[in-house]
Amino acid sequence: MIELIDTALLLIMVATALGFVFIRNLFAIVMLSGIFSLTAAVLYVVMDAVDVAFTEAAVGAGIATVLGLVALSLTGRPDEAPSKRSNIGPFLVTMLTGAVLINATFDMPNYGDPEAPAHQHVAPRYIQQSGDEIGVPNIVTSVLASYRGYDTLGEVVVIFTAAVGVLALLGRRRRATAESRRGAGSAVEGMTGKSILRVTTKLLIPSIMLFGLYVQFHGDYGPGGGFQAGVIFAAAIIVYALLFGTHRARRVISPGIVRFVLAFGVLLYAGVGVAGLLLGGNYLDYNVLAHDPVHGQHLGILLIEFGVGATVAAAMITIFLTFAGHDRPMEE
């Protein structure tokens, strides 16, 4: 039965990938990429990787689709005509790479094989001892936030860098054309006059935010954590900006505060590491944060998850508002 579901999901993913190749309409391709991510999320649920599925659904199917649509509205959606050039070269390269990759899968261990290297190295320790060492029911959270704290710090820095990059590329030009914008109108003007949508959204936004906070602080006990919570929280702000316009969204949550939170999250994460150093432990060693090692782990995970959530939410809001508030290049 599981094989049947897996096969069906993988076939849907193949069909979606073929859609990327053959469809020329960029709008449809953005929607297809959302469908692709959602199918991947369902596949992860079938594999019992609920945390990964949650992230894929929130980031891949949710925010990435919205950002893709905003990017399209920014660039004016030029539907590219099929090129007349021969595609034989790229086709051969793709087929060759695919053949090598498929060949490589024959060396991989079977799905769920207990002898697989991934289940031999450190995984037994995580499963057997994380309950005593970390004391957090969700093993994924203890691996992500404590055992693999360095990797997660790196991921947060990557997200921070992406937001800073968007600001550096688009943020400055927006300020330079602040006068012309009033005449030209920004890419996302807000759907004014849609009272049904406005009322619905106004009632919906508080529950989205509440759900974001639940995911943030319940990550120790169930699927969730800073990454998902940050994206969900940002989604509430983005929905507001879509319906009421980016100008009003800027007044509700000022870009200065968002930028402060963006840096604050990374600093909080790195600061917890430095605090560990000052208290006599290693960098990102939470055991020394409190008198009891397990309490220290709890405190450390809570703080760094909060840092992750703050940076992710601020980064998504920054990218969206910078994209959406930017002038269309054609109208400049």
CB of 322 to another protein, least distance (A): 25
CB of 196 to another protein, least distance (A): 5
CB of 195 to another protein, least distance (A): 11
Q: Which of 25, 200, 254, 282 binds another protein (CB under 8 A)?
A: 200
Q: For the purposes of burial, counting CB atoms within 10 Å of the CB of 148, is it exposed (0-12), middle (13-18) or buried (19 or more)?
A: middle
Q: Which of residues 168-197 bind another protein (CB under 8 A)?
A: 194, 196-197
- Residue 138 backbone class (left: φ over 0; alpha: ψ -120 to 50; beta: rest): beta
Q: 194 Cβ partners below 8 Å, 6+ apart?
A: 243
CB of 199 to another protein, least distance (A): 9
Cβ distance to another protein smaller for residue 76 or 98: 76
Cβ distance to another protein smaller for residue 95 or 191: 191
Cβ distance to another protein smaller for residue 197 or 257: 197
Pull the structure tokens for residue 62: 């949710």
Cβ distance to another protein smaller for residue 148 or 198: 198
Cβ distance to another protein smaller for residue 33 or 201: 201
CB of 118 to another protein, least distance (A): 31
Cβ distance to another protein smaller for residue 182 or 194: 194
Pull the structure tokens for residue 104: 């490589």
CB of 248 to another protein, least distance (A): 19
- Total of chain residues touching another protein, rule CB under 8 A: 8
Q: For the purposes of burial, counting CB atoms within 10 Å of the CB of 75, is it exposed (0-12), middle (13-18) or buried (19 or more)?
A: middle
204 is an interface residue for another protein by CB under 8 A: yes
Cβ distance to another protein smaller for residue 129 or 207: 207
- Region near another protein per CB under 8 A, out of 36-44, 59-67, 198-206, 247-255: 198-206
CB 84 within 8 A of CB 57: no
25 is an interface residue for another protein by CB under 8 A: no
Angle among Cα 268, 270, 271 to the nearest 5 degrees reads 60
24 is an interface residue for another protein by CB under 8 A: no
Convert 273-299 to b/e letters by CB count within 10 Å (16 or more is b). Answer: bebbeeeebeebbbbbbeeebbebbbb
Angle among Cα 267, 273, 279 to the nearest 5 degrees reads 125
| Cβ-based neighbour number of residue 78 at 10 Å | 8
Cβ distance to another protein smaller for residue 37 or 201: 201
CB of 277 to another protein, least distance (A): 41
| Cβ-based neighbour number of residue 162 at 10 Å | 14
In this structure, is the dihedral angle defined by the CA atoms of residues 184, 190, 196 and 198, taken in order, positive or negative?
A: negative
CB 322 within 8 A of CB 167: yes
Q: Which of residues 266-305 bind another protein (CB under 8 A)?
A: none
- Region near another protein per CB under 8 A, out of 56-64, 90-98, 170-178, 202-210: 202-210
User: Contact positions toward another protein, by CB under 8 A?
Assistant: 194, 196-197, 200-201, 203-204, 207
